[in-house]
Amino acid sequence: MKKIISLSIILGIASVSFIGCAQKTDRGPNSYRAMNQDCYEQKCIRNSLDETSDKASKPIKNIEVQREVPQDAPILEKNKTLRISVVGQGVAPTNTSSPAQAYALAKRAAVADSYRLIAEKVKGVYVEGDDLIQNMMVKRSSIRTSVTAMVKNANVIETNFKEGLCEVEMEIVLSHAQFGH
């Protein structure tokens, strides 16, 4: 009796491991391991979708589907607009004669910061950095960034002034026609 029970247990374990192996081989290149290790976001999404198609019998909810964008696709498409929104910050100088003046000056600084952020987003930033290492130690580390651009038709959406800090939300709407290509 004991022999029969032990034999049946061994057979059961063997059959379970066999089924597991068979499932792994069925998945092939779309295994979970491959998905997690070496793939970018879009590829991962595609793989996860393939996984879900394998399990078609089960109802699956909340699948995030992203449209694949080719690398050389234009950011600004024809007949479509691109809205860029930024929040710039400015601080009032310490030697102001009234709270109203402090607000006005802080707002001016915040608007300039917003313009800079818009320029950075649309045109890009030039970055340059260097580290000086002596005797296996970082002596000096410096990063220089710069941006030069022309910004037109940017609109102020909202202004907040709290505890000497002014925040200005600005946005710019870009269209394909503005660039005249």
Partner 1 sequence: MRSRDGNSSITRAIWPLIFFSSFALLDAKEFIISYRYVVKDATLYNETLYISEAMQKCSGTPQEHLLLTTDKKNSLKDIIKNNEEEFIDFIHKLGLSVEHKEKTTNLINTSTTILTLKSTCFKVDFNDNFATIAPLK
Residue ranges binding partner 1 (CB under 8 A): 89-93, 105-106, 108-109, 111-113, 115-116, 118-120, 140-154
**Least CB distance from residue 72 to partner 1, whole Å?**
28
Between 31 and 89, name the residue whose CB sits nearer to partner 1: 89
Nearer to partner 1, 14 or 149 (CB): 149
Which residue number, 58 or 152, has a Cβ lying nearer to partner 1? Answer: 152
Q: How far is the CB of 89 from partner 1 (least distance, A)?
A: 6
Pairing of strands 81-91, 126-134: unpaired
Name which of 35 and 166 has its Cβ closer to partner 1.
Answer: 166
Closest CA to 170 of 118, 102, 105, 107: 118
Q: Which is nearer to partner 1, 20 or 99 (CB)?
A: 99
Shortest approach of partner 1 to residue 76 CB, angstroms? 19
Inter-residue long-range contacts of 155-164, CB under 8 Å, 24+ positions, other chains counted: 156/111, 156/114, 157/85, 159/107, 159/110, 161/103, 161/106, 161/107, 164/91, 164/92, 164/102, 164/106
Minimum distance from CB of 107 to partner 1 (Å)?
9
Distance of closest approach, residue 44 Cβ to partner 1, in angstroms:
34
Burial of 8 (0-12, 13-18, 19+ CB in 10 A): exposed
> Is-contact 88 114, C-beta < 8 A?
yes
